[in-house]
């Protein structure tokens, strides 16, 4: 089991390193303006990848709990994961003759959907005790990304062409993984299963979608209120911040099937209690930081204060991991609690948007990450408050 997990981590790590290092190389090659436009496009649709990843979370929770319906659940979830990528490919082909920002943003959306589908397919193979396929797929995609980045450095590919090349690589890798998915004969259809899966996919994905949408809002605000060079700076910092967060999320996905079984039914009360403690401390720490930055900003300019920026980024990274873990615990208890995580995600997105509009202009990059901290503090506060005020925790398995 440990060796299997290490292989998966190695493959995912290679893919993330390839993508992130390639982007850092392309910044000086493309220049701040082109790089900033590319980042704005890809950042705007980060939420779409998270929406598709709701299918992955559903599979990792549902398949271990429903062995008899496993093949049917797998087939239905795979169709839901593939639909956005298929539609994106059609839209990309349709907008290619148009060119410009329309084609760039459409390709970025398709790329995001493809990345989500790749993760879903890899998860299905892990559930089938084939972790080596997860590693091989992501390493192959990492090699493709590095190769395309090399062509971009050589001047062959510019942002739009680079995105199209990445989408082409995803088509090949996803097609191979899909062809290798087990074709076990599904059991007879269970009435209402499709609706239940749709609900779980949407609710399980919404928390991650809201987090990604909050980042997308920041890119939109930066595109309007800041120079492309500042957008590029924020992107580099987000890469650093997301590296730790993505590793933590990957570890959670690897242990999710076992945790899902462990927290099933009445055993979920322990998971909810731990989530309550985590969110309480996170809300306190984040609130103290927000107040401190606002006070400091009222006394002196902070937009160029790199020490303060580093502190805010560090708190944002830590808080993100803490909140993600708390939500993970809640999501693996039962279906009833998904309404709570969804309402907290909505509150977080609203708070992040308001804070971004208010803080990005006067505080620059510090304001961008402060807005993320405000959103995390809001989510933690909503979760902690609701968990504290519930007289009895729900125990219905969903």
From first to last of the 398 residues of the chain, give the pLDDT tens digit.
556 667 777 777 777 777 777 777 888 888 877 887 888 888 778 788 888 888 887 777 776 666 665 677 777 888 888 999 999 999 999 999 888 889 999 999 999 999 999 989 988 888 888 888 888 898 899 889 989 999 999 888 888 999 999 999 999 999 999 998 876 655 555 555 666 666 777 777 777 777 777 877 887 787 776 666 666 677 777 777 777 777 777 788 777 778 877 877 677 788 888 999 999 999 999 999 999 988 888 777 776 777 888 899 899 999 999 999 999 888 888 767 778 888 898 999 999 999 988 888 788 788 888 999 999 999 999 999 988 886 444 444 34
pLDDT the model gives residue 305:
75
pTM confidence score: 0.72
Helices within the chain (DSSP H only): 2-44, 46-65, 70-95, 100-127, 131-153, 159-180, 193-225, 228-262, 268-299, 306-331, 338-363, 365-389
Distances (CA, A) of 260 to 86, 267, 380: 30, 10, 22
Measured between alpha carbons, how far is 216 from 104 in angstroms, rounded to an integer? 16
Measured between alpha carbons, how far is 125 from 139 in angstroms, rounded to an integer? 15
Distances (CA, A) of 155 to 19, 28, 142, 162: 18, 12, 20, 11
348 and 387 Cβ atoms separated by less than 8 Å: no
Q: Return the residue matching tokens 């496993």.
A: 70
140 and 173 Cβ atoms separated by less than 8 Å: yes
Q: Hey, how many other C-beta atoms are within 10 angstroms of the C-beta on 100?
A: 9
Distances (CA, A) of 353 to 300, 361, 367, 398: 24, 13, 12, 32
Residue 336's SS3 state is coil
Measured between alpha carbons, how far is 372 from 28 in angstroms, rounded to an integer? 27
Measured between alpha carbons, how far is 250 from 311 in angstroms, rounded to an integer? 25
pLDDT the model gives residue 225:
67
Measured between alpha carbons, how far is 234 from 79 in angstroms, rounded to an integer? 35
């Amino acid at each position: 089991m440990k060796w299997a997990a290490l292989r998966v981590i190695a493959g995912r790590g290679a893919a993330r390193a390839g993508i992130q290092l390639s982007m850092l190389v392309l910044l000086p090659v493309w220049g701040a303006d082109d790089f900033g436009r590319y980042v704005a496009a890809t950042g705007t649709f980060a939420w779409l990848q998270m929406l598709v990843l709701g299918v992955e979370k559903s599979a990792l929770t549902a398949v271990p709990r429903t062995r008899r319906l496993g093949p049917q659940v797998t087939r239905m979830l795979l169709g839901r994961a593939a639909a956005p990528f298929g539609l994106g490919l059609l839209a990309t082909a349709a907008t290619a003759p148009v060119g410009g920002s329309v084609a760039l943003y459409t390709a970025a959306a398709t790329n995001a959907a493809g990345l989500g589908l790749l993760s879903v397919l890899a998860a299905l193979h892990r559930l089938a005790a084939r972790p080596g396929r997860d590693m091989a797929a992501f390493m192959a995609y990492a090699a493709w990304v590095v190769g395309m980045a090399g062509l971009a450095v050589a001047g062959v590919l510019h942002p739009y062409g680079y995105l199209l090349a990445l989408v082409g690589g995803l088509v090949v890798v996803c097609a191979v993984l899909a062809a290798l998915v087990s074709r076990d004969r599904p059991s007879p259809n269970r009435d209402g299963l499709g609706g239940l899966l749709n609900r779980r996919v949407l609710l399980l994905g919404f928390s991650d979608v809201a987090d990604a949408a909050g980042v997308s809002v920041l890119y939109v605000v930066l595109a309007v209120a800041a120079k492309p060079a500042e957008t590029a700076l924020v992107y580099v910092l987000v890469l650093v911040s997301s590296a730790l967060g993505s590793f933590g999320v990957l570890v959670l996905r690897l242990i999710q099937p076992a945790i899902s079984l462990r927290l099933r039914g009445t055993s979920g009360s322990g998971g909810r209690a731990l989530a309550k403690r985590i969110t309480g401390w996170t809300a306190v720490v984040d609130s103290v930081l927000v107040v401190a930055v606002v006070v400091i900003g009222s006394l002196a300019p902070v937009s160029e204060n790199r020490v303060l920026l580093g502190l805010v980024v560090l708190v944002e990274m830590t808080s993100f991991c803490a909140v993600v873990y708390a939500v993970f615990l809640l999501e693996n208890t039962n279906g009833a609690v998904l309404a709570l995580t969804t309402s907290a995600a909505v509150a977080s997105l609203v708070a992040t948007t308001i804070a971004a509009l208010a803080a990005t202009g006067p505080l620059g990059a510090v304001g961008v990450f402060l807005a993320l901290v405000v959103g995390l503090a809001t989510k933690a506060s909503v979760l902690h408050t609701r968990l504290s005020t519930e007289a009895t925790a729900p125990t219905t398995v969903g």
